Amino acid sequence: MQPAIILGMGANGLGVSRALGRKGVDVYGIDKQDDIAFSSKYCKKKYVFPDPASYPEECLEQFIRLGESLDDKAVLLITNDPYVAFVSRFRAELSQYYLFTIPDSSVLENIQDKSKQYRLAENLGIPVPKTISPKHTDDFKEGLISYPAIIKGTDSKKWISAFNNKGIVAHCHNDLLEYLRLALSKKVEVVVQEMIIGPASNNFGVNAYYSTGKELLALFSQHRLRQWPIEAGLSTYAISTNNRELISLGRKYCEGIGYTGVGSMQFKYDDRDGQLKLIELNPRLWLTNILATCAGINVPYIYYLDCIGEKVTPSLTYKENISWLYTVGDIQSFWATRKTGDLSFTEWVKSVLSADCFLYYARDDLKPVCKHYASVAEHSLKRIFRLKT
């Protein structure tokens, strides 16, 4: 079989490694640094290349050299935003050596710019939170938006590079102006959005894969029950679900813009009006991808087979109430919300002990979870020593 090369070997890449490796696919990994998924037993070859965002030309040279050394074209699977931008920019050069399916350049450009992404959704009749794209602090007058509000980058990778988070929550106009000045001083373009009011359990995700012919070959939806950080964080506990409204909105968006490739969409019910509103669409494999695999929709393998030209039967049904857990993050999430009484300690423990799949742990692939907990212990000790000094 032709090898599969995962671009981005963080936690997202770990689930992809296992999903493909268990199917007998030779898995290789590429990243700018030694990351957690490199330690998986399913990753057969490891390559550390220059940062695709900071050194794209040098990175391309390494990809071409690797491609020239392979007997067959390898399949590229993308797990983070910098590699999405890289593959899109050099799609002509990379397609000589590799197989991949990503959105057309025009579609991708509109998705990667959050302000354009929201306008597309509105044009298709998909609810979105009120969004403003200020270029200067003078553009943002008091009363334009309700609070709390979140400020985030139009370009996710630039924002994360500058602030190392998904967004900053402002609870009043003065706070928002301060964050806006800070972002503009770092030359990061932003959007400001009204927060979608409601607990973490109002969050849902729909994930899909569309072939180059725009045929829907994989579909999955999930319900995020807990997250960390609480206000704007990542999933820590999620379950597979079949939310028809969610699936309908996800398909309407993807098919309305002519989407191809893997897409991960996040929605949230707004307690103010009961509407399910789009948070974002990411054109790559997502953090909880192993949950879909465990529920019966192996998106990485479906994508792989389609890329190598195999006939793929659409996978649109799956097991519900399969659960996924990020243990360390979920401990933090529960501890921060324990006083609300929404979830008792006993209920939380039961959910943890009954989880079907995990971000890092897998019985047949233990090295990544050992590496993860060693890293957690190291950071904890460093923090303790800093506090003592």
User: Which pLDDT belongs to residue 301?
Assistant: 98
Tell me phi and psi for residue 122, to 5 degrees. Answer: -60, -40
Residue 285 near residue 77 (C-beta atoms within 8 A)? yes
Distance between CA atoms of 248 and 328, rounded to whole angstroms? 33
Nearest to 335, CA basis, from 348, 323, 324, 351: 348
Query: Mean pLDDT throughout 360-379?
Result: 94
Radius of gyration (C-alpha) of the chain in whole angstroms? 21
Mean pLDDT of 209-213: 97
Neighbours of 363 (CB within 10 A): 7
CATH number, position 286? 3.30.470.20
Q: Pairing mode, if any, of strands 357-358 and 323-325?
A: parallel
Element (H, E) at 388: helix 367-388
The answer on 301 and 184 residing in a single domain is: no
Residue 137's domain is classified under what CATH number?
3.30.1490.20
pLDDT at 157 over 60: yes
The residue segments making up the domain with residue 316 are 200-358
CB 249 within 8 A of CB 333: no
The C-alpha atoms of residue 6 and residue 31 are separated, in whole angstroms, by: 8
More confident call, 246 vs 387: 246
Residue 273 and residue 297 in one domain: yes
CA 51 to CA 55: how far, in whole Å? 5
Residues 334 and 267 in one domain: yes
**What's the N-to-C CA distance of the chain in angstroms?**
55
Instruction: Answer whether residue 49 is part of any domain.
Output: no
In whole numbers, what is the pLDDT of the chain averaged over residues? 93
pLDDT tens by residue, 78-118: 999 999 999 999 999 999 999 999 999 999 999 988 889 99
240 in a structural domain: yes
pLDDT for 167-191, tens place per residue? 888 999 888 889 888 888 888 888 8
Question: What confidence score (pLDDT) does residue 388 get?
Answer: 59
Give the residue-averaged pLDDT of 233-238: 94
Q: Mean pLDDT, to the nearest integer, of 259-265?
A: 98
185 and 303 both lie in a single domain: no
pLDDT at 352: 97
Are 217 and 329 within one domain? yes
pLDDT at 387 over 70: no
The count of other CB atoms within 10 Å of the CB of residue 166 is 17
Least confident of 42-56, 79-93, 136-150: 136-150
Cis status of the peptide bond prior to 148, with omega within 30 of 0: yes
In this prediction, residue 342 carries a pLDDT of 81
CA–CA distance, 117 with 299 (Å, rounded to integer): 24
Q: Are residues 178 and 222 in the same domain?
A: no
Classify burial at 262, counting beta carbons within 10 Å of its beta carbon; exposed 0-12, middle 13-18, buried 19 or more: buried
Domain count, the chain: 2
Rounded to two decimals, the pTM is 0.92
194, 217, 244 - which closes a domain: 194
pLDDT digits (tens, 9 = 90+) for 281-303: 999 999 999 999 999 999 999 99
d(CA 322, CA 223): 10
Question: Residues 178, 254: one domain?
Answer: no
Q: What is the DSSP string of 2-68?
A: --EEEE--SHHHHHHHHHHHTTT--EEEEESS--GGGGSTTEEEEEE---TTT-HHHHHHHHHHHHH
| Whether 225 and 324 share a structural domain | yes
Same domain, 290 and 218: yes
